[in-house]
Amino acid sequence: MTAIVVLPFVALGVAIFLAWGRGIALVDLLLSAGFYAVTGLGVTVGFHRLITHGSFTARPWLRVALGLSGSMSFQGNVIDWVAVHRRHHAFTDRPGDPHSPYRYGTSLRGQLRGLAHAHLGWMFVDDATSAERYAPDLLADPAMVRVARAFPALCALSLTLPFLAGWAISGSLYGGLTAFLWAGLVRVALLQHVTWSVNSLCHVIGSRPFRTRRHDRSTNLWPLALLSFGESWHNGHHSEPTCARHGLERGQIDPSAGLIRLFERLGCATDVRWPDPHRIQRRRADDLQQARAPS
């Protein structure tokens, strides 16, 4: 676990050191963006919206493909990821939530400590989430069990592929190594910290236009929308957890929802739970206040 968290971050430092003064090669930049998108959307569309929340039904091959690409993001195997996230929704910002930034209270010190805990500290706490309890459907799904078992191999593949691609395109071993650094380790580190920021920042900073359950402090944080593929519309998501689109308001960019729409058009995603405008309107926080205000 320590290696998974610390190594990519150290690599980020090395990469910046190497790139200092001469920039990053275009090949490395394009490969990084490509691997970031494939593995990131594997997490947001696959692990999260499809497998955790059942926001749509995917053809079996697509479900496996998304499970494989999400596994390559170094965020744990698919079954554990889903179990932890379902537990987060079951106990949001209450005792039992595996990564709430409110664990140590709301004083400045407690809040900062809580943010560190929600960002990555929670992974080092002895507080295992039971897959039997939170993901029995996946344990009973042979395809998902196989994807989960392949996690270590997929992590290795996630670093080997950029190296091979960089080597093949540049024709030099050095080109392979810089691609390994940027499109491998740095890409993993960036995606990890963006995902973890949804757990930490998107429960503390930002707006709360939609009603959520009691104690739930999830927020919408626009600066992370693009990098998180729409997952930082986290208040919208906690308000309507099974909805395939997290950016519920006009203009809220949500690339994951765009990809689900594309899958739907191509006929490989069905039963997509798109937002219901009447339901969304009823969930607006200001709507509730107006209803409560004496007339």
Give me the residues that bind Zn ion (CB under 5 A), please: 218
Closest CB to Zn ion among residues 159, 260 = 260
Closest CB to Zn ion among residues 33, 90 = 90
**What are residue 221's phi and psi, to 5 degrees?**
-130, 100
Residue 94, classed as helix, strand or coil, is coil
CB-nearest residue to Zn ion: 218
- CB distance 207 to 193 below 8 Å: no
Shortest Å, Cβ 286 to Zn ion:
22
Shortest Å, Cβ 225 to Zn ion:
15
Shortest Å, Cβ 212 to Zn ion:
9
Token digits of residue 94: 């209450």
Across 29-162, the runs of DSSP E, i.e. the strands, are 57-58
Distance CA 240, CA 242 (A): 6
Q: Which residues contact 185 (CB under 8 A, 6 or more apart)?
A: 7, 8, 11, 12, 15, 159
Closest CB to Zn ion among residues 63, 86 = 86
Distance CA 63, CA 51 (A): 8
Shortest Å, Cβ 183 to Zn ion:
28
Shortest Å, Cβ 86 to Zn ion:
8
The candidate with the shortest Cα–Cα distance to 137, out of 53, 242, 244, is 53
Closest CB to Zn ion among residues 218, 256 = 218
Closest CB to Zn ion among residues 42, 175 = 42
CB count within 10 Å of CB 268 equals 17
